[in-house]
Structure 1
């Protein structure tokens, strides 16, 4: 159903929905446009409308080949409660949809996309604008351009900052998508330009590997990894590219490259990446994560259900789920004890294709088989020892041999697992939490 947006635009149909609002295919005086209408509860906030009006010039002033241009900012509308951004219409999918289809990109394609977005970020950062929510969902691929391939454009500049600013001078929590949050945001520091570099290179890592360096499991576990863990090296890419990724994923913001330098360095690497195929690696070697508290576990997904957005998962026990979980999560700043993690940490490492993941059903079955073999070998060894003592000694020695054989078996069983042979495998591999249902 069509609706009027302002006095010059008409929204015809929904193109997509996110945590902040709905994107419509619209029509204006100069042709088709994309119109992002903020959620009604956000638009009803007078402080938010004032912030958008204050940042109007900055939102309309960003022009770059890798940034989706904003043509108009509408505050008011027919019912007086609309806040809408009228943007250039991009003919193509977002990077998340492209990644779902391809799983991994060839290194050259991944680096070219990242270099383009980095050059757009350089212009924004020079204007004093930090994006704060760089992720595949906010990168659009214009497929109508040249034969050289799709052009990547970053959208939603400044929206996260305006929506998520603390209200009335109060203290704000952490807002963002956990997989792409820089460590300093998790620790409660103010976001600077370096947080966009961290998020963008996390996207690059995901384009190459098929997964993010610290993702997987409960959002609280992901936040802990962002602060405490080091990204696992990706095999099969040039050393210079890995060192660049490593530098931009540094925990200290000052150690990361600036956006313009990142774009330049990535483009210098493009000739060396020609012809390299997508990486042939398996999912990350994870630890067996601790299950989430019962009240925090998401509802099971029915068999055959589509793979839509993950259900809302509260970060703290007893917290209400956030309806914005589909695109980003609102969370309090974790305290130092939570960030410290457990005794086993939450490290992830790359595993070869076909190798079972630690903590998985295959891994548990293999562990139980090894335990049974160890027990069987111990029993046979103890029996052989007892027989040798019977043949070589008297009655007293025979009793001693039987006694020694029993002790040997008990020792082997204890060493093999310290519990029933057929009991569940020991899965205390880490201090993370159970992964959310897809």
Structure 2
């Protein structure tokens, strides 16, 4: 059913739903448009609307081939809407759900396009703050580029800032999508351009591997892993590409490349990636994870199986391209983030080989240790002349949180 958006636009049909609102196919004075109608609770917050209107000039000034342009901002009664260019295609999440992972050449071409768009935004003083596959659109009407990848455009500029709380002397909340949040955001620092680079590098990793480097399980555990864990090389990835990815996933913001540098480096590497098939990488093992924390107090909560990729945070939401992945959580205290020595994230592996620290590898180590202790006990009893029955074996002890967090095998 059609509805009017202000006095100039008409929304005809819903294209999708996201964490901040609903996207409609609309019509305006200059032809078809996409209209993002923001949630009523956002539109009714006058302070929030005022802050967003202040950003109008910056948003309307973002003009780049790899940015979905904002044409207008409509504030009309209970309606708060962004009117944007209509992109005929799909989002990157939909393609990932269909193909699971992309060939390195296509993945690099998509990420280079997005990096070009981010470079233009950063020059204008605008930080996106929510780079993820759901916010990357593929223009299917444009000719495909390297690896058959269609041009990529970044959308939803300003939306993360819109739903954020007013700036305070010290940040106390985290707004964003857990899988793609930079460590400095988790630690409560203000978002700078480097947070977009970290998020885009996380997307790049996901395009290659089929899962994010620190995702899965409870959002609190995901946030903690961004700060305390490091990634390990993906099997079969070219070394130059891996080093570039590692640099952009650096914990220190100053160590990451700028968006323009990332785009340039990727375009230099694309010819070397031609013909390389998608990486053959097993998904991370299911199982329990390091201690998770609840949204409010970060007290331990029951552990749950780790799931691949970003997870829906709204009960009943379906895991599709429009799933709601935003969350708002308390910034954890330093002692809550401290996890001892820097650990290693879920280690990807080649198919058919146990991953270090996996249940299969760890069970063998525990069994060997049990046998060794049993033999030693028998030898000691024999030496002391003590007879009797000794029972060894039984069920393995349940792994502690420390066991499940670290990827290194248990010491003998």
The yes-or-no answer on 1:208 pairing with 2:208 is yes
Distance 1:344 1:51 in 2: 39
The yes-or-no answer on 1:310 pairing with 2:312 is yes
Per the alignment, residue 6 of structure 2 pairs with 6
CA deviations 1:317-369 (Å, max 9, x no partner) are xxxxxxx9922111111001110126895632122213456787766876787
Distance 1:4 1:219 in 2: 38
2:96 corresponds to which of 94, 99, 104: 99
Alignment of 1:266-415 (within 5 A): 266-284=266-284, 288-290=288-290, 310-312=312-314, 326-341=324-339, 345=343, 347-355=345-353, 374=371, 378=375, 403=385, 406=388, 413=392
Distance 2:167 2:399 in 1: 44
For structure 2, the 5+ residue unaligned runs are 295-299, 316-321, 406-412
Shift of 1:254: 1.0
Per the alignment, residue 124 of structure 1 pairs with 121
1:422 corresponds to which of 387, 394, 400: 394
Per the alignment, residue 258 of structure 1 pairs with 258
2:350 partner SS: coil
CA deviations 1:34-64 (Å, max 9, x no partner) are 1101100010011122122211111111111
Instruction: State the TM-score, normalizing by the size of structure 2.
Output: 0.83
Alignment of 1:16-95 (within 5 A): 16-76=16-76, 80-95=77-92
Do the aligned residues in 1 keep the contact of 2:89 with 2:139 (CA within 8 Å)? yes
Do the aligned residues in 1 keep the contact of 2:229 with 2:342 (CA within 8 Å)? no
For structure 1, the 5+ residue unaligned runs are 301-306, 314-323, 386-398, 414-420, 434-438
Larger Rg: 1
Per the alignment, residue 410 of structure 2 pairs with none
158 and 432 in structure 1: CA distance in 2 versus 1, 3 angstrom threshold: farther
Do the aligned residues in 2 keep the contact of 1:62 with 1:124 (CA within 8 Å)? yes
Q: How many residues align?
A: 388
Shift of 1:240: 1.4
Distance 2:323 2:152 in 1: 25
Shift of 1:285: 5.7
Do the aligned residues in 1 keep the contact of 2:171 with 2:189 (CA within 8 Å)? no
Q: Which moved more, 1:89-98 or 1:166-175?
A: 166-175
Distance 2:303 2:312 in 1: 9
Shift of 1:227: 1.1
Distance 1:401 1:170 in 2: 66
1:166 partner SS: coil
Do the aligned residues in 1 keep the contact of 2:291 with 2:301 (CA within 8 Å)? no
Do the aligned residues in 1 keep the contact of 2:221 with 2:290 (CA within 8 Å)? no
Per the alignment, residue 109 of structure 1 pairs with 106
129 and 236 in structure 1: CA distance in 2 versus 1, 3 angstrom threshold: same
Distance 1:123 1:208 in 2: 25
Do the aligned residues in 2 keep the contact of 1:286 with 1:358 (CA within 8 Å)? no
CA deviations 1:126-158 (Å, max 9, x no partner) are 000000000111101111111434111100112
185 and 291 in structure 1: CA distance in 2 versus 1, 3 angstrom threshold: closer
Distance 1:344 1:425 in 2: 25
Instruction: State the TM-score, normalizing by the size of structure 1.
Output: 0.78
Shift of 1:427: 1.9
